[in-house]
Amino acid sequence: MEDTTSSGVGVLDKAAMVLSALEAGPATLAQLVSSTGLARPTAHRLAVALEYHRMVARDMQGRFILGPRLQELASSAGEDRLLSAAMPVLIALRDHSKESTQLYRRQGDVRICVAASERKMGLRDSIPVGATLSMKAGSAAQVLLAWEEPDRLHRGLYGASFNATMLSQVRRRGWAQSVGEREPGVASVSAPVRGPSGRVLAAISISGPIERMGRQPGRQHGPSVVAAANRLSDFLRTVEDVEL
C-alpha cells in the first residue's frame, strides 16, 4: 500500500511536520521535538531554516510560531480576485485623472505591474503588464514598503530614493507621490490596496509627465487614487465575507 503520509522528499515532509505542529500554537524546541518525533538537532535545523525564509518566526518568549510569509502566500492565492476587479477600477481612475493607471504587486526585491490601463491619447507613461520595476524608487515602491514590518522596512530603505521620514508621511496621508524619482520627467501617485486582514497586497497608481501632473501631483490626484484603492480593498473584503 502507498504511504500517503510521505511525499518521498524527506526534508519537505519533515518541514511540513514542523509547520503542522506550530499550527496548534507557539512551541519551544522541546515541544517541537515531542510533537513531531524528530531528533532535536533536525527539528532545530529545520525550524531555523524556516525562520530564515519567514515561514517560522519567534514570539516574545523566544518560542517558535508560524511566520508572516505564510500569510503573504495565502494572500497571493487570492490574486485572481484582485485582478478580476482591478480593470474596471483602473479604467475609471484613468478616465477621471486622464492619466495612465497601473496596479503593482511586490515580489521579493522588485515590484511587478500586474494590470494597467493606458491613457487613450497624447503623451503616455507606458508601463506594460509584466514589467519589473525597482523597489528603490517610485510612489508604488513607497506604498509597498511603507507598511512592512520594521526590519523589512529598514532593509528596503538601503539605497532607496526615499527615506523613513517620507514613508512615515505616506502612512499618515494614505498615499505616496514621486516626481522624477523612478524616471526623469515622470510623476506618479500611489495608494495601498488591502486584503481582508488589512495587509497591503498591492499599490494602485497613476503616472504621467511632470509637465501635466505637476511637482505636487498628490495634491490633485491623491484623493482619487485613495478612493480607487479603497474600492478594490472593499471588493476583496466583500468577497471574503460572502465566502465565509
Average pLDDT over residues 202-210: 94
10-75 has which CATH code? Answer: 1.10.10.10
Could you tell me where in the chain the CATH 1.10.10.10 domains are found? 10-75
Could you tell me where in the chain the CATH 3.30.450.40 domains are found? 81-239
DSSP state, 67?
A: -
User: Which one, of 228, 218, 118, lies nearest residue 175 by Cα?
Assistant: 218
Confidence at 240, pLDDT banded by 50, 70, 90: low
Statement: residue 179 has pLDDT above 60: yes
Of all helices (H) and strands (E), which one includes residue 38? none
For residue 189, what are the CA distances in angstroms to 111, 138, 208, 229?
Answer: 15, 9, 9, 12
81-239 has which CATH code? Answer: 3.30.450.40
Where is average pLDDT lowest: 57-71, 148-162, 187-201?
Answer: 57-71
12-32: pLDDT as tens digits: 999 999 998 898 788 999 999
Confidence at 2, pLDDT banded by 50, 70, 90: very low
Distance from C-alpha of 238 to C-alpha of 1, rounded to nearest angstrom? 45
For the chain, what percent of residues have pLDDT higher than 90? 59
What local confidence, expressed as pLDDT, does residue 79 receive? 57
What local confidence, expressed as pLDDT, does residue 3 receive? 44
Phi and psi of 200, rounded to 5°?
-70, 120
85-135: pLDDT as tens digits: 899 999 999 999 999 999 999 988 889 998 999 887 655 556 888 888 999
Task: State the pTM of this model.
Answer: 0.68
Percent composition of the chain: helix, strand, coil (DSSP 3-state, to 5): 50, 20, 30
For the chain, what percent of residues have pLDDT higher than 70? 89
31-69: pLDDT as tens digits: 999 999 999 999 999 999 999 999 999 988 889 998 888
Phi and psi of 221, rounded to 5°?
-105, -15
